[in-house]
């Protein structure tokens, strides 16, 4: 047996548990066919936790998250929690995990699957073979800067948000981007608005300094203004490998890039924290989509985004590149074989449910492992 790393699984609400069940099946398959086993612990988060404990995540679950080697998160939320007090709302569970684990680097890949080229609004030749990684700073910037809020002075109402970054915050997220690029296409675009924002110029100067330090000579660095980056993502996305950017621009650019791939049901993400004294990095992996209450419990969800998040977990937390590749390939093969969930259904394909797509992925994994 290669490992007894610990995974904390937090399925949450809505389609979260259905999608996480399909990952459970892959984990069982890996133990049997790949001799790779994990200690998987499960916990409550979001509305599922509120129903039992009247809070969105408990201290016990937080302790489990802090000690796990990686966390796999499903989704949280649902209309039945709309009137719950803000601090106990389902989203508060995810926000606490991100904050307490200090998950400062959000990784959002935009990868196209050949079987889904027609699902994007962009031309197939523009997106075929696309493989971008957007690294968004997640714990600082204008979403957190102080002062913020209403200020009334001499009868004039005014509202303020503050964009602020420290050198350390920029350096740590840039280091993640350079390190990732080293394992990929060795190219980083750093995106800001250094032409009009002081923080943008600060960001650009620090990224340049880091690149010139000699530690990243093998990485090609480009600076690109965020507005131009948005335009280039739609015009010629394949010019990018890794894009590193701040919280606000990352929010926008990652959604724009995601549209190249067609469906919300296909988008994974990872959020990484710092490296501790034992050399381990805190990390949480989750699909980009929410709890999809409209289809929850009906076996209609596409589990791909959660499965792909698990593949990222294997790749970035456990360095199991081959296993991660196999899962991604099996999802691609299942779609190519014509099995599709409703969200990515196309003419000539067979519509299957969440568990049916799980069956198809396991069958493809069997073929790949044969």
Tell me which residues are annotated as active site.
143, 193, 227, 251, 255
Per-residue binder mask for ligand NAD (CB under 6 A), 27-66, x = binder: ----------------------------------------
Please name every residue paired with 189 in a beta bridge, in sequence order, or none if there are none.
222, 243
The sign one gets for the Cα dihedral 220, 226, 228, 229 is positive
Window of 28-36, 232-240, 289-297, 331-339 that interacts with ligand NAD by CB under 6 A: 289-297
CB 27 within 8 A of CB 35: no
Nearest residue to 109 via CA among 296, 353, 286: 286
Task: Report the residue from 291, 317, 332, 333 that binds ligand NAD according to the rule CB under 6 A.
Answer: 291
| Helix, strand, or coil (residue 193) | coil
Task: Return the range that interacts with ligand NAD (CB under 6 A); candidates 71-79, 198-206, 244-252, 276-284.
Answer: 71-79
Which lies closer to ligand NAD via its Cβ, residue 237 or residue 265? 265
- What's the distance, CA 143 to chain centroid? 18
Q: Is 349 in the site for ligand NAD (CB under 6 A)?
A: no
CB nearer ligand NAD, residue 130 or residue 258: 258
Q: Which of 7, 115, 206, 292 binds ligand NAD (CB under 6 A)?
A: 292
Kindly state the smallest distance separating residue 300's Cβ from ligand NAD, in Å. Answer: 7
Joined together, the tokens standing for residue 348 give 């000539």
Distance CA 170, CA 73 (A): 26
Alpha-helix residue ranges (DSSP H) falling in the chain: 16-33, 47-53, 59-67, 90-100, 124-127, 167-182, 198-212, 226-235, 247-258, 304-316, 321-336, 354-369
CA distance linking residue 148 with residue 357, whole number of Å: 46
Q: How far is the CB of 77 from ligand NAD (least distance, A)?
A: 2
Which alpha helices (H) appear in 265-303, and where do they start and end?
none
Q: From the CB of 186, what's the least distance to ligand NAD, in Å?
A: 31
Q: Which is nearer to ligand NAD, 84 or 201 (CB)?
A: 84
Site string for ligand NAD, 3-22 (x = CB under 6 A): ------------x-------
Within 149-178, the residues that bind ligand NAD by CB under 6 A are none
Q: Which two tokens stand for residue 76?
A: 């949280």
Part of the chain binding ligand NAD (CB under 6 A), chosen from 107-115, 167-175, 196-204, 301-309: 301-309
Burial of residue 14 (number of CB atoms within 10 Å: 0-12, 13-18, 19+): buried
CA distance 355 to 23: 11
Residue 147: asked if its preceding bond is cis (omega within 30°), the reply is: yes
Q: In terms of CB distance, is 229 or 305 closer to ligand NAD?
A: 305
Report the residue from 76, 122, 181, 335 that binds ligand NAD according to the rule CB under 6 A: 76
Using the rule CB under 6 A, is 77 a contact of ligand NAD?
Answer: yes
> What mask of x and - would describe binding to ligand NAD in positions 236 to 275, judged by CB under 6 A?
----------------------------xx----------
Q: Which of 14, 141 has the CB closer to ligand NAD?
A: 14
Query: What is the nearest approach in angstroms of ligand NAD to the Cβ of residue 104?
Result: 17
Stretch that binds ligand NAD, among 108-116, 179-187, 199-207, 298-306 (CB under 6 A): 298-306
Q: Which is nearer to ligand NAD, 200 or 262 (CB)?
A: 262
Of 5, 172, 289, 340, the one binding ligand NAD (CB under 6 A) is 289
User: Residue 351: beta bridge partners?
Assistant: 340
Nearest CA to 265 out of 282, 241, 289, 283 is that of 289
In angstroms, what CA-CA distances link 367 with 29, 186, 363? 12, 32, 6
To the nearest 10 degrees (0 to 180), the angle between helices 90-100 and 59-67 is: 40
Q: Does 94 bind ligand NAD (CB under 6 A)?
A: yes
Q: Taking the complex as a whole, how short is the minimal distance between the CB of residue 296 and ligand NAD, in angstroms?
A: 8
Residues that bind ligand NAD (CB under 6 A): 15, 75-78, 91, 94, 264-265, 286, 289-295, 301-302, 305, 343
């Amino acid at each position: 047996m290669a490992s007894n790393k610990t995974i904390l699984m937090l399925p949450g609400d809505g389609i979260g548990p259905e999608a996480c069940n399909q990952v459970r099946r892959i984990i069982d398959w890996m133990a049997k066919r790949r001799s790779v086993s994990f200690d998987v612990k499960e916990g409550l988060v979001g509305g599922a936790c509120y129903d039992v404990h009247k809070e969105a995540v408990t201290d016990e679950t937080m302790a489990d998250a802090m000690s796990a080697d990686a966390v796999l998160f499903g989704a949280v939320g649902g209309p039945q929690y709309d009137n719950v007090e803000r601090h106990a709302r389902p989203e508060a569970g995810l926000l606490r995990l991100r904050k307490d684990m200090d998950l400062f680097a959000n990784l959002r890949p935009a990868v196209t699957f050949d079987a889904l080229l027609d699902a994007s609004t962009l031309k197939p030749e523009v997106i075929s073979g696309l493989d971008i990684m957007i690294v968004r700073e997640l714990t600082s910037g204008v979403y957190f800067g102080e002062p913020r809020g209403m200020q009334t002075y001499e009868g004039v109402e005014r509202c303020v948000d503050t964009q602020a970054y420290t050198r350390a915050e920029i350096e740590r997220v840039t280091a993640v981007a350079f390190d990732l690029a080293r394992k990929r296409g060795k190219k980083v675009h750093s995106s800001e608005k250094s032409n009009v924002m002081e923080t943008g110029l600060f960001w650009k100067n620090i990224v340049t300094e880091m690149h010139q330090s000699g530690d990243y000579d093998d990485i090609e660095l480009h600076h690109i203004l965020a507005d131009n980056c948005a335009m280039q993502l739609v015009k010629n996305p394949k010019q990018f490998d890794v894009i590193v950017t701040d919280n606000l621009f990352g929010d926008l650019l990652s959604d724009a890039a995601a549209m190249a791939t067609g469906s919300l049901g296909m988008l994974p993400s990872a959020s990484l924290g710092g490296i501790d004294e034992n050399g381990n990095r805190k990390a949480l992996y989750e699909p980009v989509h929410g709890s999809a209450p409209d289809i929850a419990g009906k076996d209609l969800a596409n589990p791909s985004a959660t499965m792909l998040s698990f593949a990222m977990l294997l790749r970035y937390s456990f360095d199991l590149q081959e296993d991660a590749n196999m899962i991604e390939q099996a999802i691609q093969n299942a779609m190519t074989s014509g099995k599709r969930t409703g969200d990515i259904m196309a003419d000539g394909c067979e519509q299957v449910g969440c568990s049916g797509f799980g069956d198809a992925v396991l069958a493809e994994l069997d073929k790949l492992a044969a």
